Structure 1
Amino acid sequence: MEFKPKIELKRWDFKIENEVRQWWEKEDWWKFDVNSPKPKFVIDTPPPYPAPVWHIGAAVSYSLHDMIARAMRMLGYEVLYPIGFDRNGLPIELYVEKYLGLTPWNTDREKFLEACRKALDEFVVNMKNVLKRLLIAADIDNAYMTDSPDYRALTQATFIRLWNEGLIYEAERPNNWCPKCKTTIADAEVEYKEREGILAYVNFRVKETNEFITIATTRPELLCACQAVIVHPDDERYKRFHGKIAVVPIYNREIPIIPHKMADPNFGTGAMMVCSFGDWRDVQLFRELNLKPIKAIDIDGRMTECAGPIKGLKVKEAKKKIVEILKEEGYLVKVEKIVHKVPVHERCETEIEIIPMKEYYLKQLPYKDVLKKYAYEMKWQPERYRANLIQWIDSVTTDWPISRRRFYATEIPVWTCKKCGYKYVPPPGKYYRPWKENPPIDRCPKCGSSEWEGEKRVFDTWMDSSISILYITKYLRDEEFWRKTFLEGTKLRPQGYDIIRTWLYYTLLRVHQLTGKRAFEWVFINGMGLDEKGRKMSKRYGNVIKPEEILDKYGADATRFWIALEVKPGENYRVIESKILGAYKFLTKLLNVARYISSFPIVDNAQLRATDKWILAELNQSLEKINRAYEELDFHAVAEEIYHFVWDKLASHYIELSKKRARLLDERFTEEDAMGAWYALHQSLKHVLLVLAPIAPAITDYVWRQLYSKESVHAQEMPKPRKEWNFERELEIGRRVMELNSQVWKLKKEVLKRKLKDPISLRELEEHGIDVSGLEGFEEDFRALHNIL
């Protein structure tokens, strides 16, 4: 009998991946059918922000999300898996400013917006191609855009509803302000970075005693806004000053010395000046002590008129200048260089200031308890990230400032009557641009005036992003679709851990406010891709690896198998090319295994030998672990189990043990004996292809269609363990046989210096301590493999 492989390919050629993707585009197994009787599974896939450079770590996270979609389809769900692009917000404005030389304050607004749109369109084309090359099975060509009129109309509709319910209001209060971006930012957009600074020790004269009290401060430029000095009530050094008056150096303003527990006796001198506003402790103290704030810094990050000799200077220049003046006038005791954590804007890493501004706010404090309840109710992978959300919820102390003084974002749909100040908010449904359009009303319902000022501010981008789950489930647009997907479906949020406090938190908040429901049943957290040295990839460091560079060398399947095999759920990982090469080698190994197995006829049943029962029992145990791992969305565990089964058991041992029997190369074996091997080989390969399909979709589909069906492997059900394959006795002996195989191979190669196919006698094995007794049912395959005389 001639055994000729049906699969001719000897090495996996990832150029085939494009051909396989074209098959999928002509088929319908991956398309969502809302009328399907299957249970619905909704994946609120994070819409990536279009950028000129997309690094490999960010891109391959979408492979993990695609694995979820593919696995859930095979587990029997109808999967809604949309792709979108998050196109609102600062990043594109900063790009246009830096590379096109257009500034939003010195450029016609429409011209600036058009420049942003054009750049975003170019970036999206490239990113769509990358997603396709990563073999993402979704409607990429028709991806949604958060800057589209219908998306922005939905964002505005949610604002209108919450405004009408009294959950949004306008107020002037201290806010985080980015002098570079010239906008208010929320607490969730603030990061703390270690920066070099100074600690200036400054003498304040005590009016009543003419003594000096020394203040240590990192913000001497805010002396002009100092309205009190506090000392700890129990600090013996300062008890005599309680209730007395201090005179602010240079500015000669009289301020109270107040005992307060917020003063830290162990920092600096233990005496602290309270300024508007050095940090959020100052904000709290001003409210508590009913102090009148002085605006020392303007929106450009320059000192105001009240700063006197340092007015007009940028903060850093002002800090340096005021220290010089203090020294000249004899108030400076000393200056220490320090490294301390300072708040910066996460987008541009500019040090923020706290400036009173009039903004729109969304109430969030009343919802902390229900959001914590949701945090506990949701299923997390991995579990430990639940604590991140709970800690963030506990840290929230103020309402969310949702307005921004930028341009490329969804406009706030409000017009203000110029005569009486009445705020007109239009009915929902349309996309409004108040800065450009007249309101859909003739006269002010309060005073009858017809003169309006359209709102120029826009929303914080998270106001758009936080309703992505509502947008993809057609909230307010298709009631039946919404019911079947959002209300009746299982909803999952996959995302990075770095945006738990923003995207996840704000989504839970907004969805609850709008629907009274929990946004998700599942949260899947992926880690961050780092460079070989463990550093975050950044243009700043010059260490960004583009996904195209990896895909051009190894293809998508190898990249996907690497990320699944390398990364435990939620863990950061290093992008090391040698490991991606290792994943590619595994795929070639799998192809060679498939090529070998394709030589043999496919049989539905056969008389099994002990060796065949053993590999099926191993397969069965692997299926149990793999099914459990897929249900937990643990792709690392899936990939690891597949790798060890294919490489360490199927290829290294079973194929070698059964080869002479399968190929009828030994006269002691009959065709009936061979059929047992054919059956076990094909069953092993079929099941490996099925369970590997969500992770390495192209090679599995290619081999599957070559051997088993014209219908895609991805249209099949995830295989379950079979009771009839629970061969416990054979499993136990088979594992001993694997150990013996390794011992015999080592003996031949390292001790006897023979080739592995050379004969060896039982006596030689015994002389070298290898006991081959008790191999009931395995003897003939074992003897044939090792050519035992």
Structure 2
Amino acid sequence: MELEIQEIWRREKLYRFDAESDRPKFSIDTPPPYASGRWHVAAAMHYAEIDMIARTMRMRGYEVYFPWGIDRNGLPVEVETEKRHGIKMFEYPREEFIELCRRFLDDAEEDITRIAVRLGLSADFENVFRTDSELWRTVTQATFIRAWERGLIYEDYRPNNYCPRCRTTLADAEIEYKELKSLLVYVKFGVEGEDSHVVVATTRPELLPACACVIYNPKDERYKWLRGRRVITPLGKAVPVMEHPYADPGFGTGLVMVCSYGDRADVQLFHELDLEPTIVVDEEGRMNEAAGKYAGMTMEEAREAIVRDLREQGLVVRVEEIMHRTPVCWRCKTPIEIVPMREYYMKQMEFLKEIREMALKQMRFHPDWSVQYLLDWISGIDTDWPISRRRYYATEIPIWYCRSCGRPVLPPPGRYYRPWAEDPPFEECPHCGSREGFVGEERVFDTWFDSSISPLVYNGYMWDERLYSSLGGPSDLRPQGKDIVRTWLYYTLLRVYHETGGPAFRHVWISGMGLDERGRAMHKSLGNVIYPWPLLQRYGADAIRFAGAAEAHHGSDFRISVARIEGAFKFLQKVWNVARFVSSFPYPEEAPRLTPTDLWILGEFNETVRSAARGYEDFDFFVPATASRRFVWDVFAPHYIELCKGRAYGEGGSEEQRAAWWTLHTVLRGVLRLLAPIVPHITDFLWRKLYDGSVHRETLPEPVAEWDTEYLELGRKVMEFNSTVWKIKKERGLPLSSSISIEIPEELSPFREDLIRLHRIRQ
């Protein structure tokens, strides 16, 4: 059924965006999924809910622009390519490695897109955007050139996060923290001028050659006697002892060696204490000449060698194994180092206030409390964004350097440049006039530098001004997970503000994480990953979509299990069976005179519509999903259908029969429209079988004032009465179709005839 209806959608081009439409436009900044591996079911549910937004807005009267893109740049792609082929990027010819990346990406992209299509996403799969395309990279480079011209880019030599395995600089947003086992080594430091020593505990003994001072907390009375003195490191270097509140009296011995650089705290301490750094780690993550006999070793090798040497000299007091909060590379999970390097930076520090104000005043967050994720990240930013990377598969930095004066020269924007592989589009240096040639930049951009302009590229910025104008600028909505607020969301706000001077979007929709049934994140190492293809084959797309929507309020983490998806499938079977029953009766063209029972169920449906509308307004699909399920499963099917069944089959008068027919169809039509954004296949299939056109060309139902009557509350008492009668029959061992003698409460007299027929009440 689902594949059949999808083919109809494709044939009718049902979701094609019409830029010339008079309807108000609504554009979605679709997260381009990373083509670095297989999707699991949590990702599938996430994108299904984004599709629900698109479908909701269409049914609210908008012309929806729902582009589809694939993120094909950066570290994840390179790491997966290295794993697949058993190679190391820097030991492989650059052009050949890039080609291997492309082949891997094509395979991964195909599977992701097939899943998205099978889920029923109404995105534009005929015009796929790719972040490694010439179009996207052209716009990326153009925005960089414009930022350079505005003085927003500069180069500097400073300590940076560095991944030894990936051999590149990382921004703070690309750092994760993990509790890893580490050795806390207690080492003797001599006291200058005395035949005594103090003990310093460190997790980074390999940085002893870079030790610049030792600190203790000003409140730690144990070490006041060291103030103003110097201690001798095990390598023979005299360093000062200073007071600083960073030292934790409860960790180790309370004495902390400050080295260049163990972590970001060391960088800050060197700045505050005006210390002179000794750099002992090179750009390949190995010890350099300043490390003496340990030069050429990896950090791990140097750590083992130094501890071994110190033990032999009797300078190790003891070694403890501890769990240490360690910064690691976001992709390969290698512990990072702090290595001074020359990199390009984009200014952000002076714009943080403006971005914060935009988030609070010009954008609506869904849920509203999720804005705090962004505000918390902004409050912790303390340096500009390092945007250059020493990798291969990413957009190249469009710069050439004059062979004579060495100064950078940028080309005009408008096409995609590869400086490492091609000559510049100019012959003379504008700085010194030399015509001796140029050297192309070999570095590339941080992958977020590309993906952060998605609301511009999608909407035609710099490549289709007509489309960009039709959509009114950047996107209306950014849907994304909370795990990339600090990267994709924040960097997009920064980049679009730099480029346009305004906000990147009006709405920000932040989703929670999909967890397994025990509340754990899905990881291969845990063996708890659920892949979508088997579920799609067994239960279909709509069951997966409904299970994701009905599990938790938007923004909250939600649990996923096969049992939950099976439960959603059973609900859809209920909808199918209800529709099959209703389809056995004609749909009267005009509304007949309705009975109290009919007005009651229509009033119940009004309440369901009001509840669902609040959810649709806030893009919280838990609300319409659960409201619709409760209405169909707990009210419409077990109570109203049973109450009106006799009339529908002609046991009452013809007017009452037609009232039952009309009400059954009216409610079913409303339910199908109400569920259409969430479960688009079954609703459209049934609509096309029973009514004209597609349910996706309809509008969401709205409450009808005439259906708000006093019968609403009475109808709920009818349900209580029904439950009581069914319970009595069960206790007496009677079939539900058997007759029974029971008094109908006077207040339920408007429903008397329907109750008598339903329960076979003897009078």
Question: TM-score with structure 1 length normalisation?
Answer: 0.94
The equivalent residue for 1:611 is 597
The equivalent position to 2:332 in structure 1, one of 329, 338, 348, is 348
SS at match of 2:573: helix
The equivalent residue for 2:655 is 672
Equivalents in 1 of 2:407, 2:725: separation in Å?
90
The equivalent position to 1:782 in structure 2, one of 745, 755, 763, is 755
Whether contact under 8 Å (1:199, 1:218) holds in the other structure is yes
Equivalents in 2 of 1:260, 1:607: separation in Å?
84
Once the two structures are superposed, the pairs formed by residues 478-489 of structure 1 within 5 Å of their partners are 478-487=464-473
The equivalent position to 1:761 in structure 2, one of 741, 754, 758, is 741
Equivalents in 2 of 1:164, 1:479: separation in Å?
22
Equivalents in 2 of 1:726, 1:650: separation in Å?
17
Whether contact under 8 Å (1:564, 1:695) holds in the other structure is yes
SS at match of 1:137: coil
Amino acid at match of 1:723: A
Whether contact under 8 Å (1:103, 1:112) holds in the other structure is no
Once the two structures are superposed, what CA deviation does each residue of 1:244-295 show, in whole Å capped at 9, x if it has no partner? Answer: 222111x211211122232222322222111010111111121222322222
The equivalent position to 1:278 in structure 2, one of 239, 262, 270, is 262
Equivalents in 1 of 2:273, 2:634: separation in Å?
71
Amino acid at match of 2:712: L
Once the two structures are superposed, what CA deviation does each residue of 1:83-123 show, in whole Å capped at 9, x if it has no partner? Answer: 10000011121122111134322222111111111111122
Once the two structures are superposed, the pairs formed by residues 531-570 of structure 1 within 5 Å of their partners are 531-570=516-555
The equivalent residue for 1:739 is 720
SS at match of 1:430: coil
Structure 1 position 450 matched with structure 2 position 463: no
Whether contact under 8 Å (2:168, 2:389) holds in the other structure is yes
Once the two structures are superposed, the pairs formed by residues 253-264 of structure 1 within 5 Å of their partners are 253-264=237-248
Whether contact under 8 Å (1:497, 1:527) holds in the other structure is yes
SS at match of 1:136: coil
Q: How far apart are residue 606 of structure 1 and its match?
A: 0.6
SS at match of 2:122: coil
Once the two structures are superposed, what CA deviation does each residue of 1:305-351 show, in whole Å capped at 9, x if it has no partner? Answer: 32234333322232232222222212222222211100001101110
The equivalent residue for 1:128 is 113
Equivalents in 2 of 1:349, 1:616: separation in Å?
57
Equivalents in 2 of 1:36, 1:346: separation in Å?
43
Whether contact under 8 Å (2:459, 2:475) holds in the other structure is no
The equivalent residue for 1:724 is 706
The equivalent residue for 2:151 is 166
Once the two structures are superposed, what CA deviation does each residue of 1:563-619 show, in whole Å capped at 9, x if it has no partner? Answer: 111132012222211111111111111111011111111112111111001000001
Structure 1 position 491 matched with structure 2 position 502: no
Whether contact under 8 Å (2:367, 2:618) holds in the other structure is no
Once the two structures are superposed, the pairs formed by residues 588-627 of structure 1 within 5 Å of their partners are 588-603=573-588, 604-627=590-613
Q: How far apart are residue 747 of structure 1 and its match?
A: 0.4
Q: How far apart are residue 490 of structure 1 and its match?
A: 6.7
SS at match of 2:391: coil
The equivalent residue for 1:156 is 141
Once the two structures are superposed, the pairs formed by residues 5-404 of structure 1 within 5 Å of their partners are 16-249=1-234, 251-377=235-361, 378-404=363-389
Distance 1:106 1:323, change over 3 A: closer
Equivalents in 1 of 2:88, 2:256: separation in Å?
40
Q: How far apart are residue 518 of structure 1 and its match?
A: 0.7
Distance 1:486 1:178, change over 3 A: farther
Amino acid at match of 1:175: N
Equivalents in 2 of 1:784, 1:745: separation in Å?
14
Tell me the matched-pair count: 759
Runs of 4+ in 1 over 4 A off after TM superposition: none
Amino acid at match of 1:725: W
The equivalent residue for 1:687 is 670
Equivalents in 2 of 1:273, 1:51: separation in Å?
41
Amino acid at match of 2:662: Y
Q: How far apart are residue 81 of structure 1 and its match?
A: 0.6
Equivalents in 1 of 2:200, 2:601: separation in Å?
77
Once the two structures are overlaid, the 10-residue window that deviates more, 152-161 or 370-379, is: 370-379
Once the two structures are superposed, the pairs formed by residues 688-727 of structure 1 within 5 Å of their partners are 688-709=671-692, 711-727=693-709
Distance 1:490 1:93, change over 3 A: closer
Whether contact under 8 Å (1:690, 1:713) holds in the other structure is yes
Q: How far apart are residue 676 of structure 1 and its match?
A: 0.9
Once the two structures are overlaid, the 10-residue window that deviates more, 570-579 or 500-509, is: 570-579
Whether contact under 8 Å (1:200, 1:334) holds in the other structure is yes
Distance 1:510 1:490, change over 3 A: closer
Once the two structures are superposed, what CA deviation does each residue of 1:21-52 show, in whole Å capped at 9, x if it has no partner? Answer: 11111224422122222221111010001134
Q: How far apart are residue 700 of structure 1 and its match?
A: 0.5
Equivalents in 2 of 1:506, 1:25: separation in Å?
35
Amino acid at match of 1:788: I
Whether contact under 8 Å (1:40, 1:490) holds in the other structure is no
Whether contact under 8 Å (1:228, 1:257) holds in the other structure is yes
Equivalents in 2 of 1:619, 1:503: separation in Å?
41
Equivalents in 2 of 1:701, 1:402: separation in Å?
47
Q: Which runs of 5+ in 2 are unaligned?
A: none
Q: How far apart are residue 148 of structure 1 and its match?
A: 0.3
SS at match of 2:526: coil
Once the two structures are overlaid, the 10-residue window that deviates more, 67-76 or 536-545, is: 536-545
Amino acid at match of 1:714: H
Whether contact under 8 Å (2:38, 2:112) holds in the other structure is no
Q: How far apart are residue 559 of structure 1 and its match?
A: 1.0
The equivalent position to 1:653 in structure 2, one of 636, 639, 651, is 639
Question: TM-score with structure 2 length normalisation?
Answer: 0.97
**Equivalent pairs: percent with the same residue?**
50
Once the two structures are superposed, what CA deviation does each residue of 1:208-242 show, in whole Å capped at 9, x if it has no partner? Answer: 33432221111111111001112233432222222
Q: Which runs of 5+ in 1 are unaligned?
A: 1-15
The equivalent position to 1:513 in structure 2, one of 498, 512, 522, is 498
Amino acid at match of 1:36: S
Backbone CA RMSD of aligned residues = 1.4
Amino acid at match of 1:267: F
The equivalent residue for 1:8 is none
The equivalent residue for 1:10 is none
Whether contact under 8 Å (2:673, 2:701) holds in the other structure is yes
Amino acid at match of 1:55: H
Structure 1 position 575 matched with structure 2 position 531: no
SS at match of 1:407: coil
Once the two structures are superposed, what CA deviation does each residue of 1:489-547 show, in whole Å capped at 9, x if it has no partner? Answer: 87111000000000000000111111010112111111222223322222333332211
The equivalent residue for 1:748 is 729
Whether contact under 8 Å (2:214, 2:258) holds in the other structure is yes
Equivalents in 2 of 1:320, 1:293: separation in Å?
23
Amino acid at match of 1:702: F
Amino acid at match of 2:754: D
SS at match of 1:200: strand
